[in-house]
A = this chain, B = another copy of it.
Amino acid sequence: MLTIGDLAKTTGVKVPTIRYYEQMGLLSHAERSEGNQRRYSRSQRDRLSFIKHARELGLTIEAIRELIDLSQHPEKPCAEADRIAAEQLATVRQKIAKLKKLEAELERISTHCHSNHVRDCYVIRALANHDLCETDHD
């Protein structure tokens, strides 16, 4: 049996975060020692790794909950899991597209200023005046 600290070390998830996941229902309530400390099994460690991986991919707690529920029912069709992954992919792509626009404008702004004083600073003028933008980025 692993203590919460062991679990934190082996998975790379911080101790308070593990407790938070338990509270959110992603991890089932752990067994307790006589002194009321949490004790974990290997399968709970595996589940935590699952959660960590999913979080790294940007899935929400809610989406992860759905995936965990699904994984408890191996007979069900996996269309739902596919949908969750596909939606997350779409979300990530949207974010990339948006950030690329920002990158372009920020690059233009920050390479443009060869002034020495705030009065003529292109950074500040560009922020004050949206018309100086080349792309839309609303």
Contacts and interface: CB of A to CB of B under 8 A. Distances in A.
Interface in A78-108: 78, 81-82, 84-86, 88-89, 92-93, 95-96, 99-100, 102-103, 105-107
A102 B49 CA distance: 17
A35 interface: no
Interface in A59-95: 67, 70-71, 73-78, 81-82, 84-86, 88-89, 92-93, 95
B57 A123 contact: no
Quickly give the copy total for this chain: 2
Given A75-B118, A85-B113, A89-B110, 18 more contacts: A53-B128, A54-B127, A56-B137, A57-B137, A67-B127, A71-B118, A71-B124, A74-B117, A75-B117, A75-B119, A77-B116, A78-B118, A78-B120, A78-B124, A85-B123, A88-B106, A92-B99, A96-B103
Interface of A: 12, 46, 49-50, 53-54, 56-58, 67, 70-71, 73-78, 81-82, 84-86, 88-89, 92-93, 95-96, 99-100, 102-103, 105-107, 109-110, 113, 115-121, 123-124, 127-128, 130, 137-138
